[in-house]
Amino acid sequence: MKLRNTPLTLLALVAACALTACNRYPKPEDIEDLYVKEGQGLGHRFIGEAAANYYVGIGDGIVLAVAGAPEISGPYVVGIDGKITLPFVEDVYVGGLTRKEIANKVENVLKRFYRDPKVSVTMAAYNSKKFYVFGEALRVGALPYTGDVTMLDVLANVGINPITAKKDIFLIRSDPVKPRVYISNYHHMTYYGLSKTNFQVREDDIIYVRANIWGKLAKLIARVTYPIQVLSSALLTGARVYALPLQVDIQREYLSNGRRY
């Protein structure tokens, strides 16, 4: 039996498969609540501009100094719930707050137990802020943001390879509605000292290091030859598997005749 209108038949099959997939994985009712809203950058729980006024996040270390309360004074680490635990008192939610805001909040909590408490807060460890490097850098992934970081600092730290487009390195300030993309010229900075595009990097920024024409060509060749490599590897593996029993039989025959290799 021959199928007529084969293209239409294939199209119908693809549509049926797509509908089946949609029915198998229905769209969650709360998906709208999960979308990153405008102004939230990459969607982290705590947002702000750390370089202007540092706000603490998960994993940050702070030190409380409470006058007249040595049992409360000491180092604290912000937990995964955004809280610190004051001994003999209660948990205090500090995620997303600045040092001054934390001091005021802790003072209000301690007023129930101490007379006119005075609290100061200092940072002990900056662990919650990161930025991201992708593309043709020698080191990619999430890197800690320590403040006062420029594009040149980042590129000198991660390293770039010969197939990098040194004149077109992207600094992406993410937003679900209005992302901004800046182009940094590494060649001008390193060869001529022109620092016009040595932008300040912020937390949650993405730095994408593009490939030049030779890098794109190498990637294209790799994609084209990859199926051939997989096929040849499979054929060689199959040939070895087929030849192994034959080799064993030959060894047995030689041994049975009293001969050895």
Whether the per-residue pLDDT at 20 is higher than 70: the answer is no
What is the per-residue pLDDT across 211-238, written as a single tens digit (0 to 9) for each? 988 878 887 888 888 888 877 777 777 6
DSSP string, 11-72: HHHHHHHHHHHHHHSPPPTTHHHHSPPTT-TTT-SS-S-TTTS-B--TT-EEEEEETT-TTT
Alpha-carbon 121 to chain mean position: 30
Whether the per-residue pLDDT at 6 is higher than 60: the answer is no
Which residues are 147's β-sheet partners?
none
* Amino acid symbol at 49: E
pLDDT at residue number 163: 87
Averaged pLDDT score across all residues of the chain: 82
pLDDT at residue number 253: 62
Whether the per-residue pLDDT at 23 is higher than 60: the answer is no
Q: Looking at residue 118, what DSSP letter applies?
A: -
Whether the per-residue pLDDT at 184 is higher than 80: the answer is yes
Whether the per-residue pLDDT at 197 is higher than 90: the answer is yes
Q: Which residue has the higher pLDDT, 154 or 41?
A: 154
Q: By three-state DSSP, how is residue 163 classified? A: coil
pLDDT at residue number 261: 46
pLDDT at residue number 82: 93
Q: By three-state DSSP, how is residue 216 classified? A: helix
Whether the per-residue pLDDT at 31 is higher than 70: the answer is no
- How far is the C-alpha of 113 from the C-alpha of 109, rounded, in Å? 8
Phi, psi of 133 (to 5 degrees): -125, 130
Angle (CA) 200-202-206 rounded to 5° is: 100
pLDDT at residue number 58: 92
105: left (phi over 0), alpha (psi -120 to 50) or beta: alpha
Whether the per-residue pLDDT at 13 is higher than 90: the answer is no
DSSP string, 167-199: EEEEEEE--SS--EEEEE-HHHHHHT---TT-P
* Amino acid symbol at 151: M
Whether the per-residue pLDDT at 38 is higher than 70: the answer is no
Angle (CA) 3-9-15 rounded to 5° is: 160
Q: What is the pTM of this model?
A: 0.70
Whether the per-residue pLDDT at 154 is higher than 50: the answer is yes
> What whole-number percentage of the chain has pLDDT above 70?
76
- Which are the contacts of 189, defined by CB distance < 8 A and separation ≥ 6? 151, 152, 195, 197, 198
pLDDT at residue number 148: 87
What is the per-residue pLDDT across 44-103, written as a single tens digit (0 to 9) for each? 777 777 877 889 999 999 999 999 888 999 999 999 999 999 998 889 999 999 999 999
